[in-house]
Structures are given as C-alpha cells and as structure tokens.
Structure 1
Amino acid sequence: MHGEYKVPGGKLVAVDLDVDTSSDPGVLTDVRISGDFFLEPDEALGVMDAALTGLTSSTSTGELARVVTEALDAAQQAGTLAGPVAMVGFDARAVAVAVRRALGLATTWDQHTFEVLRPGPLPPRTLAALDQVLTEELADGRRGPTLRFWDWDERAVFIGSFQSYRNEIDDDGVARHDVTVVRRISGGGAMFMEAGNCVTFSLVVPGSLVDGMSFEDSYAFLDSWVLGALAELGVEASFAGMNDVASPAGKIAGSAQKRLAGGAVLHHMTMAYDIDADKMLEVLRIGREKMSDKGTRSANKRVDPLRSQTGMARDDVVDAFARYFAGQYKTEESALRPEELERAEELVRTKFATPEWIHRVP
C-alpha cells in the first residue's frame, strides 16, 4: 500500500507498507518512509520505519505520531543516533497522515467528486442555515462533498458562533443601515456583507480528507486551491496566521471551520471584493479597534483587494474561482434539493432568526 501527504508549506512524505491480515485488525509490515524532506541524521529514517512496523492498521493518527516521536527520542537518548534529530519540512504527524492514507483511512482530493452549488441569491440566514444542513447531509451519507458559492441581496453581518453580540454589534448602526444580524455555526470573526461586496464559499468535506491534520494545517490544506486561483487572476497571495489569506497590499480573506460529530467538516471563506469600510465601522464595534491603526478616516473609504487587484467584475471573479476548482479536482454541477432548502428555512425559523441563537453569547 502507498500513501502520500504534502505538508502545507513543507515537503512531501510518502509511505509504502504491507499489512499482515492474518489477524484483525491487521499488522503493519515492511514500512518504508521516503520523500523530498530533510532529515538528520540519516539513521533516523530506519528508526521511524522500525517504530511503525508491528503496529495495528487501526492505530490512530495521534498514536502513530506519538510512537514515531518516542522512538526517535529513545534512540537519541540511547546514543544510537549520531546526533540530535532534525526533521525539516515535515514532522511525525505528517508521517502518520501518510500512513493513514496508505491504509485508505485518510483520503485525498482525487478520491472525491465535489458537487458545485450556485443556487443564486438567498436570504443571509438561509445561507447560514444551509451550512448546517449540507454538513449534516454529508455526515448522514445523503450527499457527497460540496462547494457552494454564496449570493445574497440583503445587507448583513455574520458573527462567529462564540462572539459576544454586544462587543461586536452596534445596534444603532444595524438599524440605520437595515442590517440583518446572523450568527453562524462556525467560530471566527465578524463579516460585513452587502450584495456584491464579497466572494464567499462553503466547502463541506468528509473528515477523512483532513484526517490527522491539526486545525492550522487543515486551514492551509483546504485553502491551497484559493492561492492558485488568485495567482491565475494576477494576485500574489499567501497564508497569514492560521486562517487568513493576504497579499502584499493587505488581508484579502478569512476562513472558519466547524466539525460535526458525524465526521463532516464545514470550511468556509469570505474574500473582500469591495467593502464600504465606513459603513462597516458603523455596524461592527470590533472593526473600529482593528482599523484604528490603519488611518481609516476618510469618507468613502473602501476595502477592495479583489476589485482593485484584478480589475474584474465580482461575478467574473466567482466564475474564475469555480473554473479553477474544477480544473484541480473532480466536480459536477449540482443544485439544492427541495428538502434541503425546506430544512434550511425551518432552521431559520427555529434557530437562526431567534433571539436565543443570535444572542447566545450576549
């Protein structure tokens, strides 16, 4: 069996192994690690191979990584290695993910076909409810992985699941600008969204696609295609922190995640296309603090990285992102099912539009 894992921003780790199936679970045999990483001393490679050999095929990612780490530490303390271990471009967890992929327990992009949804404009709270619905649909086996692009007509602000309403939202600004306040199911920060001022997508994937990855690694892994799409549009971008994408001119986008018990992962990103910063600062309290050191004082100030750096209409940018994703992975055009939309509208009535949910963190 063969498995590979490319560390985000790092190197490729490959694992070849056999499994002795005379017992249940099977036992790993003849484990061989390779890749374009850097490792010192050379003997450390054999230590890792030997440590993994004899483990069961059901060993978790965390346990695989622990065994590799402890074997290297023990070998170093026993003096069987020529010097301290240096793993450059990879780590024990990357080795563990490659093992899990070899065993078929962790999946890769090319093992999935993604349904691409572009349902057109929907109310903001319906958009948030669909995140929950489609993630639950995947967890229950009723739908495969999906990429859904958002469109909306109303002015809205989306706050993270754990943000304080009173700390984030200015009720006077909300009333003045007729803003719908939406609390989403994922964590992260607030997003001010007018029609056509952002590019937003939700990606729903099985947990096997990010099996063994830390949250930080999974953000970069699931957003790696976005950097490629931006590059094709002429935008130089890179990851900034755990969940942001930035260009030399400043932040472009932010991501958030929610993982359900059923094994499904919701990952979504909002990219600024052309945001009215003055209006945003009247609606979001936290925005004032974040923008206070940026000299944002002039009227009609805008945050417009995608519009100014691409020179493209917003719909053309969305089209380009959809084409790029389809060029990288297996996709098929799809649509929301009536029962999914009905379930989302029910959730709006019973959850997303209720004061109890909107103010769940006062």
Structure 2
Amino acid sequence: MHGEFKVPGGKLVVVDLDVADGVIVRARVSGDFFLEPDDALERIDASLAGAPVTLSAAELAARVSAVLDGVVMLGFSADAVAIAVRRALTGATAWTDHDWHFLHEGPQSPRLQMALDQVLAEQVGAGERPPTLRVWEWASNAVIIGSFQSLRNEVDMDGARRHDVNVVRRISGGGAMFVEPGNTITYSLYVPESLVSGLSFVDSYAFLDEWVVAALRDLGIEATYQPINDITSPAGKIAGAAQKRLAGGVVLHHVTMAYDIDAAKMLEVLRIGREKLSDKGTKSANKRVDPLRSQTGLARTDVIARMVGTFRSRYGLTDDTLDEKTLRLAEELVESKFGTEEWLTRVP
C-alpha cells in the first residue's frame, strides 16, 4: 500500500506499507524532508510496525511521537506521517492520478452559479465528468450566505437593495461572502473523495488549497493557510473557503478571494460585528479582506492566469466548456431551488 501527503508549506511524506491480518507488518517512510539523527527514520518505521489498520491518525501519530526523543524534524511531523499512513490504508488517490478539466465561462448570475456548483459536483460524483477546476465570472454584485446562516442576521436587505446586490444561499456551510464583478476571484474544485481520503475535514481545506497558496507566494504574497478555512497574509485575510460532501463520493470545495473589494459598500450590506472582525485579527473593518491588487500590482486576469498556470504545471489541465445539458440542469435547479424564497429563507 502506498500513500503520500504534502504538508502545506512543508515537505512531501511518502509511506509504503505491507499489511497482513489487519496489522501493519512493515512500514517504509520516505520523502524530501529533513531529519536528524539518521537512525530516527528507522525508529519511525519500527513504531508503525504492529499497528492495527483501524488506528486513527491521532493514534498513529502518538505511536510515532513516542520514539522521537532527541529527534529534529523539518518540513514534516508525526501528524504528517500518520496522515500519509491513513491515506495508504484507505486507498487515497494523488492529484496526478486524475485527468483534470478546466472551466472558465463568461459571467453568470449568482443563482445560476449556485446551481452550477451542485450540478457539476453531482456529475463528478456520478462519473459523468472528470475532476474539474472552475473559475467563476459574476454577472452582478452578490452576497452568498452559508447554508446554515440566518439571512436576517447576516444581511442588511435594505443595504443590499440600495447597492443592487443579489442575495443567494449556497449548499456549503461557512460565512457570508461579498462579491463584485471584476473585483473578486472565485473558483471551485469538484474532486473525488479519494483525493482527501485519510485527511480530517480541517486538514482537507489546506490540502485542497495548497496549490493556490503556492501560486500566491510565487506572486510575492506571504500567503499562509489559517485553519479552518482562511487564506491570509501579514497584510490581512485574502480568501475564505467552504466545502460540501455530496452523495457519490465527491467533495465540492470553493474559494472566494478579494481582488479589489469596496469595503465600505460591503459593510453596508453585511452585518459584520466587532467580534467577527477581532476573530479575523483585524483592527479596522475596512481592512477585513485585503485586496489582491494591492499586494501584487497585477491585473485580475493576470492573477487568475498565474493561479491556473500553477495548477496546470503541477497536475495537468484540459480546457473544457459547459455543455447544453449541464446548463439546462442548472437552470432547472434555479427554478426549483436556488431561485426560490423557500431556499433563501430556510434559516430566516
């Protein structure tokens, strides 16, 4: 059995296992990490031998940690080894095991964007579409609230009407996002659950966005992942992610990034309290979401091109387009779900 785990911001950990009768008989850990002293690797391998295959990542990490006295690990940790083991035991796939497709269509209405996310994810889960990266273009201003958020608590509807902001509800959890056409970068990943097998929900966020954090760092931004679901920098928050696990073994992972948001307008539409701002580590409401433009000096299209280029160079990417059937299914879902008052006010 073979498993790999790339530590976000760190090194690659590879594990090869021999298993018999529900027990790890032999483990071989390798990777591009740094480790001292040399015999520490043998100790780590030995700590995994005899472990039942039913152990959790936390239990496996405890076994590894028990043999690390006097050991220096750079670029990885006992937790990373444990995750790689769980990925091996659960038959996890790697990014390069998949034929990735890329969608970047023209502007779509916020309601249709919500519907497309569900339809495309369901198609990947049903094996009707390969794993896909999609970059969105917005046809109008919008606030997208999380599946479980209260509409009245999150959105000032008078402010939304005043600024011509469409309010929609997505199928994933998380917080409200404010978007403006041309001032936001939004993307979705529709991935088989096998890609994140062996990872906790929290770890899967950073794992699925590791490529974009690398792209931002290549652009000169000191980007890091802040659990659970934020991409941030010393200058402030850059993006927020959300996920939804759907039937058929598929994960929808989508991210909204601020390129050049009108913060004053945002604060007239979103009810963002002092506690929320403090939690994000910001002193001023106007600095809650730090625009990408101020940190890169690049046009939005150039930032997107660099991001997509990073993904393409790492994992491969085949350009694709939305077919008529997919658009029809999404439009039907707008009529039956995402465009209805019942869905929008499911949590009043």
**TM-score normalized by structure 2?**
0.86
Q: Pick from 216, 226, 238 the counterpart of residue 230 of structure 1.
A: 216
State the 1:153 CA deviation: 1.9
Q: Pick from 16, 30, 33 the counterpart of residue 26 of structure 2.
A: 30
State the 1:177 CA deviation: 1.5
Distance 2:134 2:199 in 1: 23
Q: Is the 8 A contact 2:92 2:194 kept in 1?
A: yes
Q: 1:31 is aligned with what amino acid?
A: A
State how 1:124-143 maps to structure 2 within 5 Å. Answer: 124-143=110-129
Does 240-249 or 115-124 show the bigger shift?
Answer: 240-249
Partner of 1:65: 57
Q: Pick from 305, 319, 331 the counterpart of residue 319 of structure 1.
A: 305
Q: Is the 8 A contact 2:24 2:50 kept in 1?
A: no
Distance 1:342 1:47, change over 3 A: same
Partner of 1:204: 190
Partner of 1:246: 232
Distance 1:306 1:10, change over 3 A: closer
Q: Does 1:215 align with 2:201?
A: yes
SS of residue matched to 1:130: helix
State the 1:216 CA deviation: 1.8
Distance 1:265 1:125 in 2: 20
State the 1:26 CA deviation: 8.2
Partner of 1:50: 49
The number of equivalent residue pairs is: 341
State how 1:265-344 maps to structure 2 within 5 Å. Answer: 265-286=251-272, 290=276, 294-296=283-285, 305-344=291-330
Q: 1:90 is aligned with what amino acid?
A: S
Q: 2:143 is aligned with what amino acid?
A: V
Q: 1:109 is aligned with what amino acid?
A: W
The alignment yields a C-alpha RMSD, in angstroms, of 3.1
Distance 1:91 1:261, change over 3 A: farther
SS of residue matched to 1:321: helix
1:190-227 per-residue CA deviation (whole Å, 9 max, x = no partner) reads: 11111111011001111111111112211111111112
Distance 2:261 2:63 in 1: 52
Q: Pick from 325, 330, 333 the counterpart of residue 347 of structure 1.
A: 333
Q: Is the 8 A contact 2:23 2:50 kept in 1?
A: no
SS of residue matched to 2:91: coil
Does 166-175 or 283-292 show the bigger shift?
Answer: 283-292
Distance 1:272 1:321 in 2: 14
Distance 1:296 1:330, change over 3 A: closer
Q: Does 1:161 align with 2:147?
A: yes
Q: Percent identity?
A: 57
- Where structure 2 has 5 or more consecutive residues not aligned to the other structure, the ranges are none
Partner of 2:346: 360
Query: Larger radius of gyration, structure 1 or 2?
Result: 1
Q: Is the 8 A contact 2:24 2:49 kept in 1?
A: no
Q: Is the 8 A contact 1:278 1:302 kept in 2?
A: no
Partner of 1:17: 17
Q: 1:227 is aligned with what amino acid?
A: V
SS of residue matched to 2:205: helix
Q: Is the 8 A contact 1:8 1:217 kept in 2?
A: no
Q: Is the 8 A contact 1:32 1:49 kept in 2?
A: no
Q: 1:357 is aligned with what amino acid?
A: W
Distance 2:316 2:264 in 1: 41
Distance 1:226 1:358 in 2: 31
Distance 1:249 1:66, change over 3 A: closer
Q: 1:244 is aligned with what amino acid?
A: D
State the 1:303 CA deviation: 5.6
Q: 2:144 is aligned with what amino acid?
A: F
Q: Pick from 227, 234, 243 the counterpart of residue 257 of structure 1.
A: 243
Distance 1:163 1:255 in 2: 15
Q: Pick from 167, 173, 186 the counterpart of residue 159 of structure 2.
A: 173
Partner of 2:109: 123
Partner of 2:78: 91
Distance 1:45 1:321 in 2: 36
Distance 1:357 1:90, change over 3 A: same
**TM-score normalized by structure 1?**
0.83
Distance 1:287 1:196, change over 3 A: farther
Distance 2:174 2:84 in 1: 29
State the 1:236 CA deviation: 2.0
